[in-house]
DNA sequence: TTGTAGGCGTTATCAA
DNA sequence: TTGATAACGCCTACAA
């Protein structure tokens, strides 16, 4: 393992100047019109030496790193948040053809100015922030500074650029669906404590749907879990203690709903006959639970893709057309709310087999 | 937004030399014994200016980036591979206190020398490769070059440093478990086509357990899926066409098993009475399916942590004690194989409620 | 105990 | 059409 070859090495071998090498290999070959013959010689030399431009040197002089950060608030969520993987996929897909890399960072809470530190570390040109605490000081300051930041969800700042889903509508639609099935005692399990913007909006959607139907909100039927399926199970145990029982559950994440459904079934009740369940996300397992899970999509993949595209716009200096993109969601009705549900799994399976 | 402050700015403000700033802020304050008073002045100035050392400059002169790469073979897997998130979590946890950042990269297949390109791009100091194709040219070359690389799984090279689980044992243990329950016609669904090292090892474990029990391998009962639950569903439809039916399934991932279980249930058979199921991974949903899934853990979190630790050792120039770590796995018996199963969910739930 | 100078690899500017 | 040269921001000998 000798030292990596530098542009000078290439230049020497090709018998040209360093600048020529830089022009040709930096993609500006057209701008500075070098003779084809020279260009060829340079490329050949580079290949022979196995030369790769050094990112640090380049970033130093260009003032850009071609890297974006994906910031995750809490490392503990990473193990359980099913949103994250498709989000990451969307981001990677949208960035990789633009030549950007993705740095994944978790932020420690309350330690100085973590968002500013990362932003100005010279490692990234911009960042996407997933699932931030509402009102985080460090993040607010960063957003107000006008740096390239895209927030998933909203921090309620006029300067922010955000990708959101309509969490109010999600809560409303899911609850309304349950009401339309004749359910009256509809319980609510949030996927986290109040304080996260999306959590509260979904709750308000739930409240509004209930209000519109003239149904009361019973405090004993409103509770929250903690991201995990386990905590959904635990929350459901609480609800199963209510008298009379709820006849439906609106859980704000599939994970929580799955935990809750297990608790319902373990207690000997039938879904959806005794208790109907609707939730949010449409993770891949939702379709394979039995009964399959009625859910409102949360579109993490589309959100990630969109966020990355907006960030790239932002980093190129343009103000993006809209500073707040709203990703559309939709209700998918399955067996956890409707008895006689059947989907096209067989059809899907046939297609899969056909392509095997 | 004016330009970011540099070490020179800090030096000027603190009325010292650039070197002094570098020494104090670079963490070498002890080595060069500057007066406490001076150090304090420098720190104060840095704080006032909101100075952050530029990573590019630092990495250029140090020859290190303090960043590692996590390489994922195929972007499409990212959406469905439940292994990935806990793996990432393990890596992030192990690296962040060592001051390392994590760059997530996906590699395009067959285009030049992607592994070498990334390794020598000057963006990372080392990499962890997840789920590589066995025998990938570019990866093999990189490993042989002796650069700091940790492979998840194995490429069968003597130079490699790898973190593995005992895939043969996994296949053996799961199959043996089904046999011990009196099952005889045990089908096998691999989570991907033959050609991935782990896939074939698990199959060989299955074969060995069958052989040891004196059971024949029926080609009609051996098939494979394609990572997704959908494909597990499709594969199971094939198996349901066998006569007589299999009385057990060994699926090599929970995702595939979940799809298969849905197909079994949709066909009107009971699990485990008619068909017992065992698989691999223990993703969080495994415990909440009904029946809950019997599975052999694949320990992605522990693997990620270990891989990161080994990589850090490697990057510091030491040869790690063992170049091939084997992560222990264990069989978790649940309701998909044993009728009268019950677990401690209630207890867990109580604990969760107690800490709420 | 402090300051100076040189260089890391790249690119952009400007002269030739 | 090409080639010096001067940054970019940082660190580390080494000199003072």
CA distance A7 to B349: 61
Whether A151 is covered by a domain: the verdict is yes
CA of A19 to C1' of D6 (A): 13
Strand C reaches within 7 A of the B6 CB: no
Q: Whole domain around residue B13: which residue ranges?
A: 7-62
The domain that holds A137 is classified in CATH as 3.40.50.2300
Evaluate if residue A30 carries a pLDDT over 60: no
Tell me whether residue B149 is in a domain. yes
Reply yes or no on whether the pLDDT at A29 is more than 70.
no
Residues A177 and A224 placed together within one structural domain of the fold: yes
Do the domain assignments include residue A271?
Answer: yes
Distance in Å, residue A21 CA to nucleotide C12 C1': 13
pLDDT at A151: 95
The total of structural domains in chain A comes to 3
CA pair distance B262, A143, nearest whole angstrom = 46
Confidence label for A83 from pLDDT (cuts 50, 70 and 90): confident
Model confidence at A356: pLDDT above 70: no
Domain final residue pick, A62, A78, A104: A62
More confident residue, A48 or A263: A263
A208 CA → D3 C1’, Å: 72
Residue of B nearest to A290 (CA): B262
Does A1 map to a domain?
no
Nucleotide nearest to A51 (CA to C1'): C9
Residues B254 and B338 reside in one and the same domain = yes
CB contact under 8 A, B145 and A255: no
CA distance A192 to A76: 13
- The answer on B94 and B44 residing in a single domain is no
Distance in angstroms (rounded) separating the CA atoms of residues A185 and A178? 10
B211-214: long-range contacts (C-beta < 8 A, 24 or more apart)?
B212/B176, B213/B176, B213/B179
Q: Are residues B116 and B101 in the same domain?
A: yes
Is there a domain that residue A125 lies in? yes
**Chain A hits for B271, Cβ within 8 Å:** none
pTM of the model: 0.91
pLDDT value at position A289?
93
Distance B101 CA to C2 C1' (A): 34
**B102 closest CB neighbour out of A50, A103, A255:** A103
Whose CA is nearest the C1' atom of nucleotide D5?
A: A19
Mutate to test the interface with A, among B6, B123, B341 (most CBs of A within 10 A): B123
Instruction: Give chain B residues 32-71 with Cβ within 7 A of strand D.
Output: 32, 51-54, 56-58, 60-62
Does the structure show a pLDDT above 80 at A291?
yes
Q: For residue range A159-202, what is the model confidence (pLDDT) as tens digits?
A: 999 999 999 999 999 999 999 999 999 999 998 888 778 889 99
Q: Are strands B294-297 and B248-251 parallel, antiparallel or unpaired?
A: unpaired
Closest in A52, A59, A92 to B56, CB measured: A59
Interchain CB contacts (distance < 8 Å): A and B: 210
Query: Which residues in window 31-60 of B are less than 7 A from strand C by Cβ?
Result: 32-35, 37-38, 57, 60
| A354 located within any domain | no
- From CA A107, how far away is CA A86, in angstroms rounded? 20
Q: Does A253 lie in the same domain as A114?
A: no
pLDDT in tens, B37-55: 777 788 888 888 888 888 9
Q: What is the pLDDT of residue A1?
A: 42
Q: B288: which chain A residues are within 8 Å (Cβ-Cβ)? A: 229, 233, 258-259, 261-262
Same structural domain for residues A160 and A174? no
A27 closest-nt by C1' vs CA: C11
- Give chain B as a 3 state SS string: CCCCCCHHHHHHHHCCCHHHHHHHHCCCCCCCCCCHHHHHHHHHHHHHHCCCCCHHHHHHHHCCCCEEEEEECCHHHHCCCCCHHHHHHHHHHHHHCCCCEEEEEECCCCCCCHHHHHHCCCCCCEEEEECCCCCCHHHHHHHHCCCCEEEECCCCCCCCEEEEECHHHHHHHHHHHHHHCCCCCEEEEECCCECEHHHHHHHHHHHHHHHHCCCCCCHHHEEECCCCHHHHHHHHHHHHCCCCCCCEEEECCHHHHHHHHHHHHHCCCCCCCCCEEEEEECCHHHHCCCCCCEEEECCHHHHHHHHHHHHHHHHCCCCCCCCEEEECCCEECCCCCCCCCCCCHHHHHHHHHHCC
Q: Give me the A residues in range 48-77 that sit within 7 A (CB) of strand C.
A: 51-54, 56-58, 60-62
pLDDT of amino acid A37: 73
Those residues of chain B that have pLDDT short of 50 are: 1
End-to-end, the C-alpha distance of chain B in Å comes to: 44
Give the pLDDT confidence score for residue A33 in this predicted structure: 59
If one compares B43 and A286, the residue with the highest pLDDT of the two is A286
Asked if strand C comes closer than 7 Å to A2 Cβ, the answer is no
Query: In angstroms, rounded to a whole number, what is the distance separating the alpha carbons of residues A25 and B51?
Result: 33
pLDDT of res. A312: 94
pLDDT exceeds 80 at position A208: yes
A185 and A276 share a domain?
yes
Mean pLDDT of A132-148: 90
Q: Does one domain contain both B178 and B37?
A: no
Q: Is there a single domain that holds both residue A205 and residue A149?
A: no
Please judge whether A349 and B237 are an interchain contact, meaning their C-beta atoms are less than 8 angstroms apart: yes
Q: Is residue A353 part of a domain?
A: no
Determine the pLDDT at residue A328.
95
Tell me which chain B residue has its CA closest to the CA of residue A234. Answer: B349
pLDDT, residue B32, reads 52
pLDDT value for A2: 55
Residue range A222-241, pLDDT digits in tens:
999 988 899 999 999 999 99
> Does the beta-carbon distance from A103 to B67 stay under 8 Å?
yes
B83 in the same domain as B232: no
Domain shared by B335 and B201, yes or no: yes
Domain co-membership, A175 together with A274: yes
**Structural domain contains residue B98:** yes
């Amino acid at each position: 393992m000798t030292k990596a070859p530098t542009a000078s090495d290439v230049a020497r071998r090709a018998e040209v100047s360093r600048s020529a090498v830089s022009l040709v290999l930096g993609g500006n070959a057209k701008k500075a019109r070098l003779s084809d013959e020279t260009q060829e010689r340079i490329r050949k030399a580079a290949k022979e030496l196995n030369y790769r431009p050094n990112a640090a040197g380049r970033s130093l002089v260009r003032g850009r790193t071609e890297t974006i950060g994906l910031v995750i608030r809490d490392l503990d969520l990473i193990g359980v948040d099913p949103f994250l993987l498709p989000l990451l996929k969307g981001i990677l897909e949208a960035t990789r053809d633009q030549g950007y890399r993705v740095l994944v960072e978790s932020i420690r809470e309350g330690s100085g100015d973590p968002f500013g530190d990362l932003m100005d570390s010279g490692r990234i040109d911009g960042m996407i922030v997933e699932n931030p605490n509402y009102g985080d000081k460090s993040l607010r300051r960063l957003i107000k500074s006008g740096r390239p930041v895209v927030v998933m969800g909203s921090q309620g700042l006029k300067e922010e650029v955000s990708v959101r889903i309509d969490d109010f509508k999600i809560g409303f639609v899911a609850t309304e669906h349950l009401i339309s099935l004749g359910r009256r005692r509809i319980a609510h399990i949030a996927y986290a404590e109040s304080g996260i913007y999306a959590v509260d909006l979904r709750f308000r959607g739930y409240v509004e749907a209930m209000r519109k139907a003239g149904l009361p909100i019973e405090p004993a039927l409103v509770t929250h879990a903690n991201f995990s399926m386990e905590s959904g199970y635990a929350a459901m145990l609480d609800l199963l203690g209510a008298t009379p029982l709820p006849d439906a559950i609106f859980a704000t994440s599939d994970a929580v709903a799955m935990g809750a459904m297990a608790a319902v079934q373990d207690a000997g009740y039938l879904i959806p006959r005794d208790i109907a369940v609707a939730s949010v996300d449409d993770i891949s397992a939702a379709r394979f639970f039995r009964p399959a899970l009625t859910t409102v999509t949360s579109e993490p993949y589309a959100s990630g893709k969109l966020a990355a595209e907006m960030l790239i716009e932002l980093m190129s200096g343009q103000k993006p057309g809209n500073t707040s993109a709203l990703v559309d969601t939709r209700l998918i009705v399955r067996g956890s709310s409707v008895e006689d549900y059947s989907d096209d799994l067989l059809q899907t399976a046939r297609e899969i087999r056909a392509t095997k």
